[in-house]
């Protein structure tokens, strides 16, 4: 049996799990790989104190690992962008295949990394960078390879999904749900990148590049987070037969790609609405075959290690070809063309003629009103003279929805505090 | 660019779609494969009349194709077992890789085919044999390769799922729903193998072998179909918060594997309950990472062709290693150990003391009653003197449930017409 020699940098929760699995001489892994997966060196800036492992060479200078001529594959699990990029580049320049779980790295420097790997005829595995233990990148790169992807819609941030699920199921306020997620280890002490949408947007940019064959370009991803979502909107969504999820979205139409990640209403009849707790899911819609959906744990040491180890098995078989991100003439869209049905919540003065004024404004903008809720009681309004009104409109793009929102709050009868969200439909 | 030369037998709906895609010199496929996928010969027993394709050699003797020295990969899409087995064996003996969509073939002769392929160092692709366009075999063989599978539960027969969904959603009787499925082309004119559970059981046997590393053995799969399911049970299930699905199930415990496929109650909170129409889904539960779910179209020309073409791309990359079906000491269980909570529907005489007698019988068998429904009105009972009683019991294995059912119908007050179904829980 051949041996694949592995060097690993980063021994946090994920790196520690990968190291332990490799050092246990796992027959499952070796039999699948058809070779021995041998961990020969670990880079840990804190040295031996970072992890208690025997029979492995631990270096505090991570550069030792990427320079080591006895290593075939470099596994990058330190996170962050700059040092990770330097190490990965050095590893490739030194002729090593690379496996990483680092979505920020791929989202930021994927183009350069893939180019270098291709020049050097080396393999890159990054399954763990999106959806953790659920093999969605494999589905895009291999399982669905015969199909043109039309669009994808994904719940890609477990922290956000846990918080939204808790708010919707248990009526928790955002801050309560966030604290609970932090106590359970599902949110970091600084949860900014999760709850402001950055994490999901980075993952969306990776998926869009693979799905549509365009170079990685994070600047083309429009995104917002769940940090300003209010419980009242989740309650109205429930009343309307929807769930609010943070949905990363990518679409191609006439060779133009749009990528985004926003809180979005999802019909309770759709599979995505059933994705609770910290779980992830990705719906990929292809021409001819329609939607396939991939659901599973999006984070955590075991699921992420599972993806890293599967990549190592694939590298040992030589099957991780470098992604081609220059497919035909596909480009990012310069315009905001994609339309969604839309949820608007307004706070309006409780006086005659207001609904007429609002609905006239929708009519002037040629936008249909599909549903309207105004409750008789004034519950949940902070301002005793104002009542919430919820309108579900027909399809409209983000820019036009923003314009209408602005016109609405310009009305004397409408409060400045207006919320509007996309409504996802999988019936396309 | 290298060329992979392909010979294809069978040009029905799926074969025709595969042939057309290959003959269109699809840049998507060739770029993914990194080689040209070239269809050089077709075997069609009806000859050129079977399909209108130019620029390809069509032979009526299928043996010409497997004997052709100019072919690298043989694609078997004729279906059936005996001739398909002969062709695949000949192809392997002639040094050709094999791609097939034939679940009956793999379920019946997989062991011999894998053994021969391994001896000859050839690749076997059979992604299309289970769940059509949804890459579940890839997930088991590659994506989840680092994990021990604990159990799987799948909706693997689209025809059955369409019928059950129509009965549950629209209140259709079995025969009505079947006719509708036939009119829509979702059920064959002879639907026997779909509705009696054979098709799903064959797929379950393939999944179990891959998941647990045991040789294929269809005789170890216990199964029933949906052909005796009554609308009244779907209605009671709805009342209890469940959906009835045809669930293929595989589990390993203490190295003992059980495989089965039966109509099963699934909680409305689970992802599987949301799988409607003719869609398929597979939940794979692994140690450490928990459940991942794969959802998508399970049949139809485009989805099945998608899987066949993805296999061809994998063969061109050399990445389809032969499955290892002799993992450690895993064996099929000789005993029926697996327990499920259970749904019983009895038809009982409407007289005092009956419920007491029935519940005593459950108590004597040490089986808890978790829920019991007896409606005041006598709706839906054919016999005016008898009323349906539904009992949800605690966990019990199939054999014990059958024994209790027998004891129940032995009671004077209970009609012979008793139905009982497993209840699937994904909270394990």
> Mean of the pLDDT values across residues B77-87?
97
Tell me: the pLDDT tens digits for A107-166? Answer: 999 999 999 999 999 999 999 999 988 999 999 999 998 899 999 999 999 999 999 999
Tell me: the pLDDT tens digits for B283-337? Answer: 999 998 999 999 999 888 999 999 999 999 999 988 887 887 776 688 999 887 8
Query: Between B34, B145, B294, which is nearest A310 by CB?
Result: B145
Domain with CATH 3.40.50.720 in chain A: 3-129
Global pTM value: 0.94
Structure token pair of residue A428: 């396309």
A21 vs B contacts (CB less than 8 Å)? 146
Beta bridge partners of B244: B265
Tell me: the pLDDT tens digits for A380-390? Answer: 555 567 899 99
The DSSP annotation for B365-422 comes to: TT--EEEEEE-SS-TT-SSTTEEEEEEEEEEEEHHHHHHHHHHHHHSTTB-S--EEEE
**pLDDT at position A93, please?**
98
**pLDDT at position A197, please?**
97
Q: How far is B201 from chain A (nearest CA, A)?
A: 22
Residues of chain A with pLDDT > 70, as a percent, come to 97
Distance CA A291, CA B134 (A): 9
Domain with CATH 3.30.360.10 in chain B: 137-297
**pLDDT at position B328, please?**
66
Question: Considering only CA atoms, which of B218, B214, B215, B190 is closest in space to residue B204?
Answer: B218
A314–B288: do the CB atoms touch at under 8 Å? no
Tell me: the pLDDT tens digits for B248-267? Answer: 999 999 999 999 999 999 99
Query: Between B34, B133, B135, which is nearest A321 by CB?
Result: B34
Give chain B's largest Cα–Cα span: 82
pLDDT at A427 over 80: no
Tell me: the pLDDT tens digits for A197-230? Answer: 999 999 999 999 999 999 999 999 999 999 999 9
> Mean of the pLDDT values across residues A307-327?
87
The three-point CA angle B241-B246-B248 to 5° equals 120
Distance CA A99, CA B302 (A): 33
Class at the top of the CATH hierarchy for domain A136-298: alpha beta
Cβ–Cβ under 8 Å, residues B60 and B26 = no
Class at the top of the CATH hierarchy for domain B339-424: alpha beta
Interface A-B, measured as beta-carbon pairs within 8 A, has a size of 176
Cβ–Cβ under 8 Å, residues A60 and A26 = no
Q: Whole-angstrom distance between the N-terminal and C-terminal Cα of chain A?
A: 50
Domain with CATH 3.30.70.260 in chain B: 339-424
Q: B346: phi > 0 → left, psi -120 to 50 → alpha, else beta; which?
A: beta
Cβ–Cβ under 8 Å, residues B7 and B72 = no
B29–A145: do the CB atoms touch at under 8 Å? yes
pLDDT at B37 over 90: yes
Domain with CATH 3.30.360.10 in chain A: 136-298
pLDDT band, very low/low/confident/very high, at A326 (cuts 50, 70, 90): confident
Tell me: the pLDDT tens digits for A253-289? Answer: 999 999 999 999 999 989 999 999 999 999 999 998 9
Distance CA B300, CA B166 (A): 19
Q: How far is B399 from chain A (nearest CA, A)?
A: 33
Tell me: the pLDDT tens digits for B199-231? Answer: 999 999 999 999 999 999 999 999 999 999 999
pLDDT at B399 over 70: yes
Look over chain A and give the mean of its residue pLDDT values, rounded to a whole number: 92
Distance CA A391, CA B79 (A): 53
Residues of chain B with pLDDT > 70, as a percent, come to 97
B292 vs A contacts (CB less than 8 Å)? 133-135, 294-297
Distance CA B25, CA B29 (A): 8
B295–A271: do the CB atoms touch at under 8 Å? yes
Distance CA A75, CA A99 (A): 5
B313–A146: do the CB atoms touch at under 8 Å? yes
CATH topology of domain B3-129: Rossmann fold (3.40.50)
Q: Would the CA dihedral through A356, A361, A366, A368 be positive or negative?
A: negative
We find that the CATH architecture of domain B137-297 is 2-Layer Sandwich (3.30)
Read off the DSSP letter of residue A218: G
Q: How many CB atoms lie within 10 A of CB A238?
A: 15
Question: Considering only CA atoms, which of B158, B420, B167, B393 is closest in space to residue B275?
Answer: B158
> Mean of the pLDDT values across residues A396-421?
96
Distance CA B177, CA B164 (A): 8
pLDDT band, very low/low/confident/very high, at B191 (cuts 50, 70, 90): very high
Structure token pair of residue A169: 């199921």
């Amino acid at each position: 049996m051949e041996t694949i020699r592995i060097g690993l940098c980063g021994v946090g929760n994920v790196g520690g799990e990968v190291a332990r699995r490799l050092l246990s001489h796992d027959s499952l892994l070796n039999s699948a790989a058809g070779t021995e997966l041998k961990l020969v060196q670990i880079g840990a800036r804190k040295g031996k104190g970072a992890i208690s492992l025997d029979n492995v060479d631990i270096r505090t200078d991570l550069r030792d690992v990427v320079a080591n001529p006895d290593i075939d594959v470099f596994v990058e699990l330190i996170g962050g962008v700059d040092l990770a990029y330097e190490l990965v580049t050095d590893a490739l320049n030194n002729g090593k295949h690379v496996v990483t779980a680092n979505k920020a790295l791929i989202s930021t420097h994927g183009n350069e990394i893939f180019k270098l790997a291709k020049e050097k005829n080396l393999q890159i595995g990054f399954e763990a960078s999106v959806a953790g233990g659920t093999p969605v990148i494999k589905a895009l790169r291999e399982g669905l390879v015969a199909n043109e992807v039309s669009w994808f819609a994904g719940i890609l941030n477990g922290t956000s999904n846990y918080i939204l699920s808790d708010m919707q199921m248990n009526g928790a306020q955002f801050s309560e749900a966030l604290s609970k997620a932090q106590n359970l280890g599902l949110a970091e002490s600084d949860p900014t990148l999760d709850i402001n949408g950055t994490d999901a947007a980075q993952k969306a940019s990776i998926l869009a590049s693979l799905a549509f064959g365009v170079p990685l370009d994070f600047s083309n991803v429009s995104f917002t987070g769940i940090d300003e979502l209010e419980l009242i909107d989740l309650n109205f969504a429930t009343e309307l037969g929807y769930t609010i999820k943070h949905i990363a979205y990518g679409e191609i139409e006439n060779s133009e790609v749009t990528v985004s990640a926003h809180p979005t209403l999802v019909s309770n009849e759709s599979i995505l609405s059933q994705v609770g707790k910290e779980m992830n899911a990705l719906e990929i819609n292809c021409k001819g075959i329609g939607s396939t959906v991939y659901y599973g744990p999006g984070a955590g040491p075991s699921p992420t290690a599972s993806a890293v180890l599967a990549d190592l098995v694939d590298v040992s078989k030589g099957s991780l070809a470098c992604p081609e991100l220059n497919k035909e003439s596909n480009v990012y869209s310069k315009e905001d063309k994609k339309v969604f049905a839309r949820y608007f919540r307004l706070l309006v003065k409780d006086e005659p003629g207001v609904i007429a004024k609002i609905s006239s404004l929708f009519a002037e903008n040629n936008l249909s009103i599909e549903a309207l809720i105004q409750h008789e009681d004034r519950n949940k309004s902070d301002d005793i003279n104002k009542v919430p009104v919820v309108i579900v409109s027909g399809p409209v793009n983000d820019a036009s929805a923003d314009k209408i929102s602005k016109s609405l709050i310009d009305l004397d009868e409408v409060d400045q505090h207006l919320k509007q969200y996309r409504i996802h439909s999988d019936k396309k």
